[in-house]
Structure 1
């Protein structure tokens, strides 16, 4: 099937188009079109449309391997079938020069349909088509409270997109193209900048309606929890010292807090001791000036009917000895491309434990397990996990294309072993884990600017990218 700008062949031979290509997909109630735009400098030269919806109907993929579009000498687009209802669309460019401006951009007009999914955001509109983003890196990060960044969207007509994990993805919505969502890939920060290949690969699937589309994605790609979480955490309040005391916490404030909860007739799931219990950040040792006998305190709380959980972070601050030196000597900390481990987080300057290294994970988990057993701690509230808390640009022991986003998945999988009371605040393709995923803090105001209204829209967003066990954080 040939046109003025490109030729499609059935894997036997490919035709060449000497132009830079940008793709745009038009979503209407009648189908989905891939619009290839041929550029000459900054100007659009020609456009040609490929009806992807018709491909689902007319192409017999059983009789061929795939379709290939040759865009340039070193750039191809390949389309193949997957799981019966899906096309896998992959654009690849070889011989990319590090530091140049090579990128793929493919845009999908949102049409008059509703779209769901996308990342967690401080300004969480619902449905998704109302969002506005410009050339935005699709990684977990503190910016805009993006604790979840699973690249999955589906619409009210039964189409869905799932971008591969190993893609250096940026998104642009309602900026480059009006009423459009654009996928952009480029070897730029926060991704490695020295890669010599570039890829944009995603699945495009068509089912009868939104429900069937979402169920198909869960069954075939996203997964669902492999176990059951703690029911008491769903039914009863989680009481946290941070909501009332912030960092001024000690044995007496915790006991007073517990007694006042009971005096007012409230029930509980557990009492969580939050920030500022350690001798220094990363020591995993209680400050005895505040908690002289932690086991005695947890026993007293359990006699009152409380389970006890503890706030945990993945950092070791500068000067927190001997742990800082021990972790450095054993190469347990994330380094950047310059060899530095240092970064600033909200409680000071320090380093992040490297959860992409088995030895570092085993060491960190063992210390945490000892802390739990010796002090009567039932479970933990795990903080951070976003890639922006790593020294930039990080060097991780992950498969090609998984830097930096692999850090979030590795961290969440490491902490998930601490049982059904575990809560995390970041996630990346970890829908199979039976843990609570916590929203980032909401502000005490109404509205979509991280206000109380976003408790509902964030819950819907997290559910529709596959995270079913959701907790709000403090308000």
Structure 2
């Protein structure tokens, strides 16, 4: 076991890699980030008790075998590990070798060294339109009943209300049984014509897919003898419960399974002009540690294998992902509830910051207002929450509408959402340049204040963020708030309202419902 109590942050950077266990004493004021994106609100890990098992549970979102410290330390493994913060110590137990990096001085230093060594960025980025315009996912509006007519009407409504065209995503149930990736002939009588119309309106088109195969289908009967479906420990085809019932699962550790699913997707592109795919599911929950796969792997390894399927397509989206930091994959936060606190608006910024520190630069907050459709059917709709959600998303790398603001909002609140969409488009070229920078450097696009300003003591600030290294964004995430405090690092900051703030300071600003505050650092 490698044990350290290093207090000299100016030491020569080292990597210790001879152990599957580590026990570290926390340094004075040491804070840590990493593990799972959905734990963002619990970060930084400091003196509070916290533990997580990265093989058993990813909390339905991205995870990565990486921990980072503001004192320039990091831990990496190629395999899942369990970690625990307790009584001023961090203990880590891995399945594979653990790598401890030390002496990198800051959070940024630790991240950059780990990224360079273990997950260097690919030189590509996802489809540029994901960054330069809002996205429109049809889930909340259409649920399991999408039709050609409804898709076209949604797109027309976007344009009629003065919102920029972007990527439009046709979600679950556009198809025949799961795994039979053909347009349902009753709901989509002429899909090629639909796609052509959407293209003419300025949209690119994504389709939802998953790794599941409906057992009672012709596709299942054709695939089962080929050996590309996952087998359980007894050697039988695994049938797994997921949110839409019980299905077989593609074994994506098998190259033949990858070839098969990509052939289905390629055909959709070739025959109908589909531009890309939302590759859903792949969560570790749907696999068992003793499954018999083509390449023996962990639950997390199956999640990673499904994520690799989408690397072929520049227009992609994932919600569940393991490793693959630095790769050109659009990573959406998991479905949030239509609520202010809990798994709602309060989670967007801290979870987004966690995504970036896990190496996932190309991030998207959840659907504006929340993607948990049950929230819209059981909870009272909150127009203020919807507006603040749109504003919070506007200066993320991506923003995604689903519930139609023109259906839900009065004219005043609708205009606030349209302004947020237009603001994102206005910043599109800058965001795209940051994405290209990430493809060269691996750096997050949305950055923690402590990442950019190591000496400012901002480790626990998680209701504001940096877009790149010069734009401070301070959305409102509390109901009824019309004033908020913004923490400014050293420098001169020019506000969206023309105000000038000289830091370091904490300043109370006015935040009417019409305002998303942001500040540009002056050269």
| TM-score, normalisation: structure 2 | 0.65
Deviation, structure 1 residue 453 = 1.8
Q: Distance in 2 between matches of 1:391 and 1:290?
A: 36
Q: Name the structure 1 match of 2:14.
A: 85
SS in structure 2 at match of 1:360: helix
Q: Structure 1 residues 289 and 110 mapped into 2: Cα distance closer, same or farther (>3 Å)?
A: farther
SS in structure 1 at match of 2:282: coil
Q: Name the structure 2 match of 1:396.
A: 293
Q: Distance in 2 between matches of 1:180 and 1:292?
A: 61
Q: Distance in 2 between matches of 1:368 and 1:459?
A: 29
Contact preservation (8 Å) 1:439, 1:471? yes
Q: Distance in 2 between matches of 1:217 and 1:122?
A: 20
SS in structure 2 at match of 1:316: strand
Q: Structure 1 residues 370 and 217 mapped into 2: Cα distance closer, same or farther (>3 Å)?
A: same
Q: Name the structure 2 match of 1:325.
A: 221
Aligned: 1:334 with 2:246:
no
Contact preservation (8 Å) 1:172, 1:184? no
Q: Structure 1 residues 411 and 325 mapped into 2: Cα distance closer, same or farther (>3 Å)?
A: same
Q: Distance in 1 between matches of 2:82 and 2:257?
A: 30
Contact preservation (8 Å) 1:381, 1:423? yes
Aligned: 1:440 with 2:357:
no
Contact preservation (8 Å) 2:289, 2:299? no
Q: Structure 1 residues 386 and 140 mapped into 2: Cα distance closer, same or farther (>3 Å)?
A: farther
Aligned: 1:316 with 2:239:
no
Q: Distance in 2 between matches of 1:344 and 1:463?
A: 31
Q: Distance in 2 between matches of 1:407 and 1:381?
A: 18
| 2:55 aligned residue (129, 133, 139) | 139
Q: Name the structure 2 match of 1:155.
A: 69
Q: Name the structure 2 match of 1:417.
A: 312
Deviation, structure 1 residue 246 = 1.3
Alignment of 1:195-214 (within 5 A): 201-214=98-111
Give a deviation string over 1:189-240, Cα, whole Å, max 9, x none: xxxxxxxxx7553333221322222211111112113212222211211111
Alignment of 1:54-93 (within 5 A): 85-91=14-20
Q: Distance in 2 between matches of 1:428 and 1:225?
A: 16
Deviation, structure 1 residue 249 = 1.3
Alignment of 1:271-282 (within 5 A): 271-282=168-179
Contact preservation (8 Å) 1:105, 1:182? yes
Deviation, structure 1 residue 322 = 1.4
Q: Structure 1 residues 111 and 344 mapped into 2: Cα distance closer, same or farther (>3 Å)?
A: farther
| TM-score, normalisation: structure 1 | 0.71
Give a deviation string over 1:416-448, Cα, whole Å, max 9, x none: 1012x211122222123212111111112223x
Q: Distance in 2 between matches of 1:170 and 1:158?
A: 21
Deviation, structure 1 residue 150 = 1.2
Q: Name the structure 2 match of 1:101.
A: none
Q: Name the structure 2 match of 1:171.
A: 83
Larger radius of gyration: 1
Q: Which has the higher helix share?
A: 2
Q: Distance in 2 between matches of 1:296 and 1:131?
A: 57
Deviation, structure 1 residue 411 = 1.7
Q: Distance in 1 between matches of 2:186 and 2:319?
A: 30
Q: Name the structure 2 match of 1:73.
A: none
| 2:34 aligned residue (88, 98, 117) | 117
Deviation, structure 1 residue 250 = 0.7
Which 5+ residue runs of structure 1 have no aligned equivalent? 1-21, 32-52, 58-83, 92-103, 186-197
Backbone CA RMSD of aligned residues: 2.5
Alignment of 1:7-406 (within 5 A): 26=5, 29-30=7-8, 85-91=14-20, 106=23, 108-109=25-26, 111-121=28-38, 124-129=41-46, 132-134=49-51, 136-139=52-55, 141=57, 144-145=59-60, 147-162=61-76, 164-166=77-79, 169-173=81-85, 177-185=86-94, 201-319=98-216, 321-340=217-236, 341-391=238-288, 393-398=290-295, 402-406=297-301
Q: Structure 1 residues 349 and 212 mapped into 2: Cα distance closer, same or farther (>3 Å)?
A: same
SS in structure 2 at match of 1:226: coil
Q: Distance in 1 between matches of 2:154 and 2:50?
A: 43
Q: Distance in 2 between matches of 1:107 and 1:113?
A: 11
